[in-house]
Each structure stands twice: as C-alpha cells, then as structure tokens.
Amino acid sequence: MRVWYVTSRKHSLRFGGRVKMAPTHVLRCCQRGLAWIPVIFIALVVCWSYYAYVVELCIFTIPSIAEKIIYMVFFHLSFVMFVWSYWKTIFTRPANPSKEFCLPKAEKEQYVKEERPESQQEILWRAAANLPLYTRTGAGAIRYCDRCQVIKPDRCHHCSACDMCVLKMDHHCPWVNNCVGFSNYKFFILFLCYSLVYCLFIAATVLQYFIKFWTNELPDTHAKFHVLFLFFVAAMFCISILSLFSYHLWLVGKNRSTIEAFRAPVFRTGSDKNGFSLGFGKNIAQVFGDEKKFWLLPIFTSQGDGLTFPSRLVNIDPEQPTVSLQPEANKSIEDVPASPLSESQNHLLGNEQHANNVTEHLENDTGSETITIIMERES
C-alpha cells in the first residue's frame, strides 16, 4: 500500500505539472491567433475596396469606357505594388544574430553560474573582444540578451512579441504581425508608400462621383453606398498613413530606427543620436541599396549584413587599433584610429580599407610633386 501511494503521488504531481503548463501553452497559442486579427482586418478592407472600386464604381457607375480603362490600369498597378510590399513585410522573417555572437558552451555555463554582475561582465568582455561592437548599455556594459543568450550586435534589440533578438530592430508592427527590422525595413517603407498611393488614387478618382451621389445628381443604386463609404475610408487611411510615412522617411534620412529616435544609442565615447548617420545620400543607400532601379521594388537590396554598421564615431574610438600613414620618403609617421570594418561598411564609407595595401597619388595643380600614402592593415 505504501508503494502504491508513493507511485500515485508521483503521477498526480506529473499530472498536476501538465495541468499547470497547459494554460500557459493555450494562452500563447491564443495570443498568436489574436495577433493576426489586425492583418485579417486590413485584408478584408483591401478586398472590399477592390470590389467597390472595380465593380461598383468602374463597371456600374462610370459611363465613359475610356475613363474606365484608364482608372482600371492605374488602380491595378497601385494595387499590385501595395499587396506585394505588404506581403513581403508580413512574411519576411526578422534577421537574428549569427552564431559568432553566441557565447561558447564553457563560457555560457560559467556565465550562468556566476552571481555577481561584475564577473558576468568580465566573461562578456572576453567573449566580445573580437566582435565588431561599438554600442554599449547606458552603464557602459556589453549588451547581452539573457532570454536569447546572445551578445547583441549594434542596433539589435529583443522583441518581446516575437520572443527573439532582431537585427536593427525598428519596432513591432501589429498591422503586419511581424517585427520591422533589417530584413524587411525596406519592404515596410514601400508598404507605407504604396498604401498611401493606393488610398490617394482611390480618393482622387472617387471624389467626383462621391459629390454626384451626395448631391443626388446620380440615381440611388446599390453602388451609392460603396462609393460614399469608399471615399471616407480612403481619405481616413490616407491621413493616418501620410503622417507615419513622413516620419519614417525622416528616420531613413537620419539613419535612425524608431527605438534610436526615442533613446539615443550609447557608444564607447558616449551617447549620440546621430552616431550612425553617414550623410543623407549614404543613409538612403543603406536602406534601399546602390542601384536606384530597384528602389521602388519590394526586393531586398539593403546594404550590409545587419550585424555591423558603419559609424561616424569609429574614427574617434580610442579602443580601436591603429594603422600608420607613411609618406613615401618616411619623413613622418601619423597614427590614426581604425576599426575592423566589414566589407559592407567599407563600401558605405566609400574607402578602400578592405585591401591589404592602398596607394593613393595626390598631385598638385602644377603636377610637379607627387605624394604617395600607403595604408597597411595589421594581419
């Protein structure tokens, strides 16, 4: 009897554990399901707007065949680009830190066993010694995610909704049920752009028929409700999207994320809200790429790998190694700070530091003197 009692108790504890775990699992599934409600709402509105514009307005209301064709062509162009960019924003998985930013197994175990924050930071400092990190916490410590157990790359943040660290995280958008970051930020900007164009086009072309229905110049038909409501919905979304789109264009021009706009990143030299700004042209190219022919297409063309970003503060970082600029005659030596920049950073900064030796010839106006500057990187 005693053995039977103990066994039954063990089973009851296990069963009780399952009962306690079940609500958490169910709650998480419910949260994931409810998160799609805004996306479904937008999809239903878009489907209704397509029906209202194409069928009720163009087919049943507009009398001119030429006007119908013109409206239909431009409407479908804006509709396709809007749906394409919206789809890419939703279903592009956020980029995560690579394995290089994960602690080795031995150091991870040591980090977990340590109780003092100072000792934990020493472990992180050793692990981050060879990583291209320029940002710190507000206290100057290494940015580490205890949830994902990774050292956070620059501009990387943990999203509680997605439960993951996202490279160059901007924000979590409920209207796309996804994190907006390095991998889909261009798609998000284009989604705002084409949704604004879509709403503007609908509002502009529906306006005259809205006035005619409102003043009873056109007979009351089943199309009246759709046309009137279509104008109100398009105008309402147009106003809200315009403010959001303008704000994100400003962020792109400043090379900031929404998080960085509210909380300036902290570098080794201190906090600076413009630390990643390289100038308007290079800031735009960092998001949309070098080839302008792809800027308006929801195709990934952003520069870099999302792990490292060029910063105007790199050259004044005292913790970076130095390289020597030597004149050809070896008359003087000048040490300047350098940093282990990635190929994408070199490309953005417009230099040639990724080569082992770079030789530049500077000639004066008379062409009588030539100075050779040789830059050598430490191996």
Radius of gyration, alpha carbons of the chain: 29
Residue keyed to tokens 């005619």: 212
Phi-psi region of 68 (alpha: psi -120 to 50; beta: other; left: phi over 0): alpha
Beta-strand runs (E) in the chain: 135-136, 144-145, 150-151, 157-159, 164-166, 171-173, 178-180, 266-267, 270-271, 322-327, 334-337, 357-363, 370-376
Please tell me the number of Cα atoms within 13 Å of 4 on its side-chain side.
Answer: 1
Distance in angstroms (rounded) separating the CA atoms of residues 230 and 326: 69
Which of these, 196, 183, 192, lies nearest to 155 by C-alpha position? Answer: 183
DSSP class per residue in 256-272? --HHHHHSPPEETTEE-
Q: For residues 89 and 82, is the Cβ–Cβ distance under 8 A?
A: no
Active site residues: 173
Q: For residues 306 and 100, is the Cβ–Cβ distance under 8 A?
A: no
Rounded alpha-carbon distances, angstroms, from residue 175 to 41, 90, 119, 300: 9, 9, 42, 21
